[in-house]
Amino acid sequence: MLTREQAKEVKTLLCTGKFGRPVVLFALGYVNLQDDEREVLMLRYLHGLTQEATAEKLNISPNTIYNKERIGLEKCYTTWRNNPFMSELLDAALN
């Protein structure tokens, strides 16, 4: 299970402020996400939508958005921390 601190690390990279959209899309390409998980992460972090707005846009419940986001963040963290290049990129996003 992903801790709050681990989730915060992933969210920091996904928010694109430091590296920009191309790097975030590149980083997401390393992760084996289901299409709906990727869509939720992109809407939430690249487009800045709230969970409620994302749920409305995708016509699914906010609880489902929460679950898909949590699973997606966990997959990102695990994949990125197990890849030396991506782990270094994640560390750079945090500094």
Which pTM was predicted? 0.92
| DSSP 8-state assignment for residue 18 | T
Gap between the Cα atoms of 34 and 16, Å rounded: 21
pLDDT in tens, 16-66: 777 888 888 999 999 999 999 999 999 999 999 999 999 999 999 999 999
Gap between the Cα atoms of 40 and 36, Å rounded: 6
In three-state secondary structure terms, 1 is: coil
Dmax (CA) for the chain in angstroms is: 37
Q: How confident is the model at residue 91 (pLDDT cuts 50, 70, 90)?
A: confident
State the Cα angle at 29 between 24 and 33, rounded to 5°.
Answer: 110
